Amino acid sequence: MEPILIPSLANRLVIPTDPSEDEFNYCSSGITIDSYEIISTIGSGSYGSVYLVREKSNGNVYALKKIYYVDVHDSELVKKRAIRERDAMIVCNKAKNSRAPKLHRAFIDKDECVFYYVMDYIGGGDFNSYCYKRLCEQKPFTMDEIKFYMAELVICIETFHHLGLIHRDVKPENIMINEEGHLILCDYGSSKQLFNNYSTHNGFLSVSSSAPGHGGSFGSFGSGSFGSSGGSFGSGSFGSGGFSNTPPNFTSFLRNPSSSYTSYIGTPQYMAVEVVQGTNYSKLCDYWSLGAILFELCTGQALFVESPDTTEQKIRENIGNWRGLLNTAISKNQSIPKVVETLIRDLIAPERKRIDSMGIRKHPFFEGINWEDVSNHRNTPPFKPTLNSSTDTTYFRN
């Protein structure tokens, strides 16, 4: 199959009904599931599982993500998500993006109707589990900790946008903690590719010759791609660099959110109001999600979820009534500093008024932050995972 070029932002990725091995496979010549020894299961969901594995030929340890694409609800959507995730990870690979998963191999087993991804194992677990542990231990985040993690997330999202991608499912479960304690944005099954400066290996996008980026090597295995409903650690309450090498043709996208889409995708409680309502949305939808996460870090409560029994329909209704709900939530949490409240309100806002990465960087909450240090992992994380070996799974909970 010839590569399908994307001449404009209006064009959508063309997905075959049943992709061939050549169309899906990436760096996987001679590789099958039998090439790996399964050490343990580290995640599972409606559409598949994630395993800690060892490659038999070289002894390297990886995370292996397994996605079934038949005999599941909406199998065509599962295929599209699987290919979308593969394509986004390859874009990040080419850019040597240090805030994104490192994809080593991708291959398809047509007999078993399974997609496989082989990625670096990130032993620190997901950010949601870490936040939940802090909540259970009644250890609220300090403002310095919140500032650190929010700055890291800003860089994660900024970097993703810089590569011409909208994530569309930014949430704590899709954020990993690497061995040094830095945050990695993962799980790209919901992502949207906006232009073709980067490309996939051999299937669906044209190949580009070069790409700027940052060094680094890692991977991820977020739960969202398996069809988990998503959730919040906030069932209770705490109470309490820039891109100097940005190419010229990226500039208008970084500054102008007008490239818009209308598809409904993501985890409901973190969805921007324009996504829930089915109106045009842009990369700024990822910053609404950032605001929802900021509120949770400050309070231990999910902004749009009243209880564990809150239905998806009710969450969507709450987001549609976000103004009143946000005012009520802020008034009930008087411990939120005014400077944090203003940032939350700048993010949980109508798209036309929502601040972008430049506005976020300049916000008083981030006063004193050296963004170049954040971008280059030079800031010391407040938490560093303690791992006893390359196969330690301590930080993964059921």
Average pLDDT, the chain: 79
Place of tokens 């998503």: 230
Rounded average pLDDT over 333-345: 97
Whether this model's pTM surpasses 0.85: no
pLDDT digits (tens, 9 = 90+) for 210-255: 222 322 223 333 333 333 334 455 544 444 333 233 333 333 333 3
Residue 50 tokens, joined? 């994630």
Query: Residues with catalytic annotation?
Result: 169
Annotated binding site: 65
Q: For residue 377, is pLDDT > 50?
A: yes
Give, in order, the Cα–Cα distances in Å from 126 to each of 89, 132, 279, 301: 18, 10, 31, 18
Give the residue with greater pLDDT, 256 vs 98. 98
- pLDDT on residue 100: 83
Burial class (CB in 10 A: 0-12, 13-18, 19+), 346: middle
Annotated binding site for ATP: 65
φ and ψ of 209, to 5 deg: -85, -30
Q: Where are the domains of the chain?
A: 125-375
Residues 6+ apart with CB under 8 A from 201: 25, 26, 27, 90
CB 287 within 8 A of CB 157: yes
- Taking domain 125-375, whether its CATH number is 1.10.510.10 is answered by yes
